[in-house]
Amino acid sequence: MELQREPIEAALGVRIREIVSLGCDRWTLALAGGDRVIVQRYASADALTTAEVALDRLRGEIDLPVPQIRRLKVVDATSEDHWALFTGVSGDPLAQKLPQIADEALYQIGVRLGQAVYRVHRVAGGRYGALTGNDPCAADEERQYILARLEHDLAEAIALNAMSTEEAADVRRTLQAFIPPGRQAALLNSGLSPETLLVTQRDGRWTLSGILGWEHALSWCPAWEHVTFLEACEGQRCFGLRVGYGNGYDNETQRAYEQVREPALRPYRALLALRRAVERARRGAHDDARRYVNVLLRLVT
């Protein structure tokens, strides 16, 4: 989708000199006064409100590469899109710059990301579940939340013919035995990926300059953040980024259940595989759904 200049200029009250696409319905705008800002189009009001709630909770955190957000009133009678303006961050998506970044620099970006995400996770998330809207799985305790998500996704997977009732019973039996060690929900971004991480090159060095993706934010435990990020950064090219993230995060905490360690992540990998199977089945991608179910079954056996 191309950005329509006139409605955005009217919403901002200033001329736009240049528009650069960041992908994923995000654009950097160079304004007439010299400022550079980012705008994002959201497909739902809930997504925008989730980003607002998450970033409002982070307002008191300094020295974090997270943006300030302001809702934009874009006049467009033919659209139900929702718009936000981001300030305080800059750069290009890491996904666009990966070929230019050496492995050591990618590792250092990962370290900085791990340290920043640890700081985000220190912000209490409240109830487990979505930050806004009606989350049928929301709960005051993590075990209740996990079991609610598990039953919800298993029921949908069976209804969509993504897995059999016997397979669902095996998954249920294993995950019902899991006792989460956490005591309080943390604020998670839950959308970390090379597309939502901004990087900038300064004096020949690449740095992490922004974290977007806050429309995916929720309250859960750090392990969920870890498995979703590691999934989004699969492949050899992102190996240094993953290692740096794990080292940067683990050096900040002595709590083993928070660290980026496989034994702690395994139950959450299973829950993520189940969720991905359901998402693929909804779209009719049954081969992909079956691939995730097979991953899930390996994780619980």
pLDDT digits (tens, 9 = 90+) for 105-119: 999 999 999 999 999
Which two tokens mark 277?
């199977």
Q: What is the pTM of this model?
A: 0.95
Percent of the chain at pLDDT exceeding 90: 89
Distance from C-alpha of 145 to C-alpha of 174, rounded to nearest angstrom: 16
Pick the CATH number of 5-90 from 3.40.50.800, 3.30.200.20, 3.30.1340.10, 1.20.1090.10: 3.30.200.20
Query: For residue 182, how far is the Cα from the chain centroid?
Result: 20
Domain 93-299 belongs in CATH node 3.30.70.100? no
210-235: pLDDT as tens digits: 999 999 999 999 999 999 999 999 99
Distance from C-alpha of 265 to C-alpha of 272, rounded to nearest angstrom: 10
12 by DSSP, 3-state: which?
helix
Query: Which residues are within 8 A (CB) of 123 and not within 5 positions of it... i.e. 6 or more apart?
Result: 57, 58, 61, 186, 187
CB distance 92 to 198 below 8 Å: yes
Q: Pick from 177, 192, 187, 194: which is nearest to 143 by CA?
A: 177
Query: For residue 28, how far is the Cα from the chain centroid?
Result: 20
Dihedral sign of CA atoms 162, 164, 168, 171 in order: negative
Q: What pLDDT score was predicted for residue 224?
A: 98
Beta strands in the chain (DSSP E): 16-23, 26-31, 36-42, 68-72, 82-87, 92-93, 124-126, 129-130, 185-188, 197-202, 205-211, 218-220
Give me the residue label for tokens 């409100």: 49
pLDDT at 77 over 60: no
Q: What pLDDT score was predicted for residue 182?
A: 72
Give the CA angle between residues 102, 107, 111 to the nearest 5°.
150
End-to-end, the C-alpha distance of the chain in Å comes to 44
Q: What pLDDT score was predicted for residue 78?
A: 62
Instruction: Give the domain ranges of the chain.
Output: 5-90, 93-299
